[in-house]
Amino acid sequence: MNKFDIESILIADEALLEGHFLLRSGMHSSRYLQCAKILQHPDHSEAVAKALAAKLKGASVDVVLGPATGGIIVAYELARALGCRSIFAERVDDAFTLRRGFEILPGESVVITEDVITTGGAAQEVVELIKKAGATCLAVAALVNRSGKNPFPVPFHYLYELQAPTWDASECPLCKEGKPVEKPGSRAEVKH
């Protein structure tokens, strides 16, 4: 799948939003990707996961790990495409942990996956779970890269790079214009 293909899916599924958004990182932006709009369609979920799997060709992956909530469906579909296990990490007391009987065994090779990477904070936290388990993080894979770089100490694979301005709330021109801020992601509370 090339950039044109993923962009077509983003547009067809109305996943690329324009407005004034508060990102999970605390930054503000005029563009937001609601990947849940893509992932609600099993055929699109499968297609983007197969495209990510192609970027990992030749890697021996034991587990795909997705931070909740954005990484759960992507992790499942990527694991299915790679023929390995899929697990997810959840926040407990504001830290990611494995629950529900999920575990990473020493020596296993793990790929972390997300829907969108902005700062990479959630994926970085999950890297620590992998290290504590004595496993190896092979790569991070995402549908969309908002960061404009690789914020990880391992290879970073993605299908689409979103060019979108971000601002601290104190410097946000949309706030200065009085435009209401939206928080469409998994943590819907808006804080200024």
- Whether 164 and 28 have beta carbons less than 8 Å apart is answered as no
User: How many other CB atoms are found less than 10 A from the CB of residue 181?
Assistant: 16
Q: Give a yes or no: residue 134 inside a domain.
A: yes
In a domain, 192, yes or no: no
Residue 157 counted as domain residue: yes
Residue type, 30: S
Domain that holds residue 114: 3-176
The number of folded domains in the chain is 1
User: Residue 172: pLDDT band by 50, 70, 90 thresholds?
Assistant: very high
Sorted by sequence, the CB contacts under 8 Å of residue 165 that are 6+ apart come out as: 29, 30, 31
Confidence of residue 2 (pLDDT cuts 50, 70, 90): low
Q: Is residue 184 part of a domain?
A: no
**Residue 182 placed within a domain:** no
On average, the pLDDT of the chain sits at 90
Q: What's the pTM? A: 0.85
In this predicted model, what pLDDT tens digit does every residue of 66-125 receive, in sequence order?
999 889 999 999 999 999 999 999 999 989 999 999 999 999 999 999 999 988 889 999
Q: Which of 28, 40, 141 is nearest to 81 (CA)?
A: 141
